[in-house]
Structure 1
Amino acid sequence: MDIIRFREVIKQREETDDEWTFGVEQCWKKEIEILTEDIPSTINFLKNDCTAEEYSWISEVIDDVVEKVRSKELVQCYKDLMIKFPEECVKYNIAGSIESAEAILTWEDENEKKG
């Protein structure tokens, strides 16, 4: 994972007015691309380098990331950060983001069994 590039995108996202939908979506697209390009290094980043602020910004795209890579380990790692960053969890409803990501994995598992 390119941490420097990720942090540049987060900075750009911070500076993008939420009302400017196109700009926000472009930032999200870049975040998803960076977070999904190398899952082991993304997990390493989350475990060792992710700040509280970065954690909260990732919550905007975590379900999209999981939909793209379907990694239970990634979701668990993101979930583990709830303990490290409790204020962000409350302020940004990160539990809801995690529930959404887990629902994607559950749906995938259930539908694979049917197929």
Structure 2
Amino acid sequence: MNIEKFREVIARRIYVEEISQGEWADGIEECQKKEIELLTEDIPTTIDFLKNECTADEYSWISEVIDDVVNIVPSKEFVQCYKDLMIKFPEECTKYNIAGSIESAEAILRWEAEHGEES
């Protein structure tokens, strides 16, 4: 995962959010697609990023696309690593309902497992 590019996309996503004043904008979807692309290009390096370099802000933005990431790469290790960060970033978990995002990602993994797509 290219961390520098990921951080650029997050900065762009924040900017688009600010200028759109909370309204949906085309730039948001563009940023989300790029986030998903970067997060799924190499799951082991993405997991390493989560464990060692991910900030609270980045963690919260990932919650927006975690379902899409898991749909593309149904990795139990990725979801568990993301879930483990709930302890490190409790404020973000509460503010952004990250537990709900994790439950949804785990449901995708269960569905994949039941249909022979387990990783």
**TM-score (ref. length: structure 1):** 0.95
* Partner of residue 28, structure 2: 24
Whether 2:37 is the aligned partner of 1:33: answer yes
What is the count of residue pairs matched by the alignment? 113
Distance in 2 separating the partners of 1:20 and 1:95:
23
Distance in 2 separating the partners of 1:4 and 1:55:
15
1:79 to 80, 83, 90: 83
| Paired residue type of 1:54 | E
Whether 2:103 is the aligned partner of 1:99: answer yes
Displacement of 1:23 in angstroms is 1.1
Whether 2:63 is the aligned partner of 1:65: answer no
Displacement of 1:4 in angstroms is 0.4
Displacement of 1:8 in angstroms is 0.3
Distance in 1 separating the partners of 2:116 and 2:9:
35
Displacement of 1:41 in angstroms is 0.4
* Partner of residue 2, structure 1: 2
Q: What are the ranges of 5 or more consecutive residues in structure 1 without an aligned counterpart?
A: none
| Paired residue type of 1:36 | T
Displacement of 1:106 in angstroms is 0.2
1:50 to 54, 77, 83: 54
Distance in 2 separating the partners of 1:95 and 1:63:
12
Q: What are the ranges of 5 or more consecutive residues in structure 2 without an aligned counterpart?
A: none
| Paired residue type of 2:23 | E
Displacement of 1:111 in angstroms is 1.9
**TM-score (ref. length: structure 2):** 0.92
Q: CA RMSD in A?
A: 1.1
Query: Any runs of at least 4 consecutive aligned residues in structure 1 with deviations exceeding 6 A, and if so which?
Result: none
